[in-house]
Structure 1
């Protein structure tokens, strides 16, 4: 910024003093004839050696409308052939109905629940013999029968429980994409991801509940109102809670069984009773849940019985 001293108003051009607003004579003087105010013009000059001034970009021309080819199709476009549907390729094999696998898993889970109750009764008998053994001598046949009863019931629970777990995992894995495609959606998880959440120890405490609640919500979406979110049923939530509680009791029983005292043995027997009861509840709720899934898969849409004609909207006042 600099002062251009020779830049006073030129001669022959009338100006007005910016201070007193008095019209000045056309004599070319640089001071006001009335108040003596020094009149200068401030002229801004770019610093030496600066970058060159950028020119303004050219203005965009106004929109002239879509391109016109004067009634002829452009030669650079697609060739003039008849449109045909593309070859869809080989048809995807139809998915098997997983309701049969769900019913099989439900039957194995029900058998596991029954064996769990029997195992709880066997453990209760053993606990009763422990209490009686403090004051009386027990016969060897009774003790051997109790041990055999506990071992047989426990083995049955383990065998049927593992079979029910594997069958349910396979059936639920097959049900997941079927339930998603019934709603016109692609499954959010692959079959490997679903199976891992159901079978990987530790992870399946959360993952199994996550998968069954997603399946339940998708199967219930057909009957749910459109203005309400899809929610899992209380049966599914109850099974998830019992599944976590059963696992916690099992870990507690294993940890307590490491003790070698008589009190630790008695506590372990009591915990085994609770583990068997919790396992029976979990298996029973799981059987009911799997049967509900199978029923919703096999449910057919209701057949319309008549027409409902709605009165037209009034046109008065439009």
Structure 2
């Protein structure tokens, strides 16, 4: 009895590249790969350590720079140092600065505040309203020189990546950090200074502007010098002597006297009276224009 033949497959056989490396070589490659990752992590951590050590002494530039207008050079270097930082690394930087009695915000040259009173918590109120208050730890308040610097520092912290620098991709390693108070350029500082400059005093300038506006309106009196409008109240001159009203004068206004208010009679009352009088006249003198 003839045996049945197996059907021939039409699919091509998959060809796999021949593995020339031995098991020892593959194990060596895996070990080197993980060793490089560990070394890269150690290099980044060492870089963060040196950056923290450097930023303790910041800011390097002195007056006229401050936390609200830091030096452009200090701000640029501060951003570059923070790129590999995580929020926990940034907290360590704040702690190290506080240990040296400095404000936790790196670009602030002031010392941190010290509250010598007892207690662990403080109650902070805003706008004098009972509902707008916060309970804050005393230790948290002593990290900064002011609430403004606390906002600046926390504004930077929320921009830091939670993932470690050795696990980030190429795009994450070049992230840019913004400051709450960016350094002002020379042109911007000059323009801001000119806006605040007051050569004649604030009140004098406002009065002069108002006086100029009054002159444009045509006011030339004494009040125009102070920026006001001339208002002169004069009593009306009466040429004839005053006469008391008679009954004859009141006879024609008896029907509308109840509408009079402080000597003035509204127009609608007398108008209605005139309209009624005109209707009566039209009935007595009918229209005869249609006649030839």
TM-score by length of 1: 0.26
Structure with greater helix percent: 1
Higher RCO, 1 vs 2 (CA within 8 Å, ≥6 residues apart): 1
TM-score by length of 2: 0.27
